[in-house]
Amino acid sequence: MATIATPDLRPANPRFSSGPCAKRPGWTPEALSDAATGRSHRAKIGKAKLKEAIDLTREVLEVPADYRIGIVPASDTGAVEMAMWSLLGERGVDVAAWESFGSGWVTDALKQLKLEDARKFEADYGKLPDLTEVDFDRDVVFTWNGTTSGVRVPNADFIPADRKGLTICDATSGAFAQKLDFSKLDVVTFSWQKVLGGEGGHGVLILSPRAVERLESYTPAWPLPKIFRMTKGGKLIEGIFEGATINTPSMLCVEDYLDALKWAKSLGGLDALVARADGNAAVLDDFVAKNDWIENLAEDPATRSNTSMCFKIVDPAIAALDEKEQEAFAKGMVSMLEKQGIAYDINAYRDAPSGLRIWTGATVEKADVEAVTGWLNWAFETQKAELSQKAA
């Protein structure tokens, strides 16, 4: 069997993980040298750092002045759980899901909170459910960008401005890479380990005035753990949204987030971040259009993510294999690229269809995305040739 030549061009940074994601260009540990390590987060320096992180989040993400922003424990998952356990139950709820994490919120609503008046709207990987069937007189929970499917809502036009219920939006792989219409969103959550490439473990929870009103007027029927409690005596604990976190944060991680926010601001803010992600995604869209062995998992171009791009291998010879063999083929490609130091962590999510998932968020350099495309062809052709040799 002839050896397939490797491409000459290599990515300078092979980190294409969908979380934690690549650090911002030029990052070194020296960026953390001003961290308030060994200091209490309640001390003036700790509070100041946390407040600065909140203020810069508002500025870069373009969050309205009357929305509260809090840093909370347990990444995006913790932020979504806080919102669901604290706000749901006042009225019926609709949960829309089209990938793994959205399905998790369905499970929480139906099996953990055991909400009697809960409906689910689900779609297979690669598609959106029919969002016109969602009733916004009820509370609604949905993901903005499906990290494990690469399918996003193209905009918030499906949400009415005069809704009666609250919208709870898991925006963790969309925030800082896609424009979020806060006028249509009452709760927005994300973790800074995604688009800004921060360290994991911390979440951000953003509340509209309507969400705050619900918190102060409604008490859930179930007990709330301490780390979920956002009110005291029927009033919002304002300190949570001014830097007085519920539990102890890592000041190293906070410093890392500050570094990423300052980098984002230096580029020109949200518009620049969106443009970087769009440019990266366009490289892979162009690659897919020119190669018939690979397709975007998201069927509708309008719903394709510009951060967590998911792909399926559609070459007839590979598609004819059984499910386990297809999975082994994709994993073989991933392993080859990792061994070559070309692309790390680009395997499909464990619950998703077999294939590839490549992160193209704002911290990834376009030149690296361009460089990896030739290697994708190399890995595919090499794997296919080995498969043919085994079959012979």
Per-domain residue ranges of the chain: 29-266, 269-391
Can you give the pLDDT at residue 2?
53
pLDDT in tens, 71-109: 999 999 999 999 999 999 999 999 999 999 999 999 999
Which residue bears the tokens 């951060």?
A: 307
Residues 225 and 207: beta-carbon distance below 8 Å: no
Does an H or E element contain 260, and which? helix 251-267
Residue 205 tokens read as 């929870």
Per-position b or e across 66-94, b if 16+ CB within 10 A of its CB = ebbbbbbbbbbbbbbbbbbbbbbbeebbb
Q: For the domain made up of 269-391, give the CATH fold.
A: Aspartate Aminotransferase, domain 1 (3.90.1150)
* 29-266: CATH number: 3.40.640.10
- Check: CB of residue 158 under 8 Å from CB of residue 319: no
pTM beyond 0.95: the answer is yes
192 Cβ neighbours under 8 A, 6+ residues apart = 198, 199, 202, 204, 257, 260
- Interacting residues of 160 by C-beta distance below 8 A, sequence separation 6+: 136
CA distance 177 to 338: 26
- For residues 14-24, b (16+ Cβ closer than 10 Å) or e, as one string? bbbbbbbbbbb
Predicted confidence at residue 1, as pLDDT, reads: 45
User: Do 194 and 307 meet the contact criterion of CB atoms below 8 Å apart?
Assistant: yes
The tens place of each residue's pLDDT in the chain, 392 residues long, gives 458 999 999 999 999 999 999 999 999 999 999 999 999 999 999 999 999 999 999 999 999 999 999 999 999 999 999 999 999 999 999 999 999 999 999 999 999 999 999 999 999 999 999 999 999 999 999 999 999 999 999 999 999 999 999 999 999 999 999 999 999 999 999 999 999 999 999 999 999 999 999 999 999 999 999 999 999 999 999 999 999 999 999 999 999 999 999 999 999 999 999 999 999 999 999 999 999 999 999 999 999 999 999 999 999 999 999 999 999 999 999 999 999 999 999 999 999 999 999 999 999 999 999 999 999 999 999 999 999 888 87
Q: How far is Cα 203 from Cα 240, in angstroms, rounded to an integer?
A: 13
Q: Which of these, 97, 2, 4, 1, lies nearest to 381 by C-alpha position?
A: 4
Alpha-carbon span 178 to 278, nearest angstrom:
9
What pLDDT shows up at residue 392?
A: 73
